[in-house]
Amino acid sequence: MPTRYVESSRLPTAWGVFDIHGFDDLEANKEHVVLTMGDVGDGEPVLARVHSECLTGDALFSLRCDCGNQLEAALKAIAEEGRGALFYLRQEGRGIGLLNKIRAYKLQDAGADTVEANEQLGFGADMRDYSVLKPMLEHLKIKQVRLMTNNPRKVAALESAGVAITERIPLRTDSNPHNEKYLQTKGSKLGHFFGH
């Protein structure tokens, strides 16, 4: 199997104590984690978020995107419910990697939008691969989710992995002068839906 479970441990956070589960993606040579709270394998729909790594937004507090805000909102929502799962996939920059993301930022500084910048670098608009989710979901025995997302590709990816999506919950975050164009492009070119 290209993706294998490695180990689990407790992870105290500002929102509560989660369990962190590590997975090794042998095919892509990447390590992914899932944070869970409560019993997620009981067959009932699980509040879930599939989050792709964004070092600049998640850890360095960049205002160019809404990634860090979405990550925090998802962890807070799971903690408030006392049950849920956050899949943290190592797919930086929509799958193009950190250094190429910085190159894309430079092109955006010159006027390109986020999709145009990726394409000018020779990549697709979104290079992420969600197939890695299937073995992770199977290991955690998650079959139904209430998915926190604005991204229709994530809905399709989970459905193709055999997961029933019982509800889609939009993640609303505030815009700022640095990410207004980015958010508009996600809606107009990538089909993200921000309403109910």
Is 93 annotated to bind a ligand? Reply is: yes
Residues for the chain: how many in total?
196
Residue 154 assigned to a binding site: yes
Answer yes or no: is 9 a known binding residue.
no
DSSP H helical segments within the chain, as ranges? 67-81, 92-95, 98-109, 114-120, 133-140, 152-160, 180-188
49 assigned binding-site residue:
yes
- The answer on whether 70 is annotated among ligand-binding residues is yes
Distance CA 64, CA 115 (A): 14
Q: DSSP state, 91? A: -
Q: Catalytic pick from 10, 42, 126, 153?
A: 126
Q: How many CA atoms lie within 13 A of 137 on its CB side?
A: 25
Residue 31, annotated as binding a ligand: no
From the list 128, 146, 168, 172, the catalytic residue is: 128
**132 annotated to bind ligand:** no
**Which residue is listed with tokens 């164009």?**
181
**Is 36 labelled as part of a ligand binding site?**
no
Q: Facing residues of 22 across strands?
A: 7, 33
**65 is known to lie in a ligand binding site:** yes
92 is in an annotated binding site: yes
Separation CA 114–CA 75 (nearest Å): 26
Element (H, E) at 146: strand 144-148
Q: Is 126 a catalytic residue?
A: yes
Q: Is 10 annotated as a binding residue?
A: no
Bin 145: left if φ > 0, else alpha if -120 < ψ < 50, else beta: beta
Tell me, yes or no, if 128 is annotated catalytic.
yes
Residues assigned a catalytic role: 126, 128
Q: Residues annotated in the binding site for Zn(2+), as ranges? A: 54, 65, 67
Q: Residues annotated in the binding site for GTP, as ranges? A: 49-53, 70, 92-94, 114, 149, 154
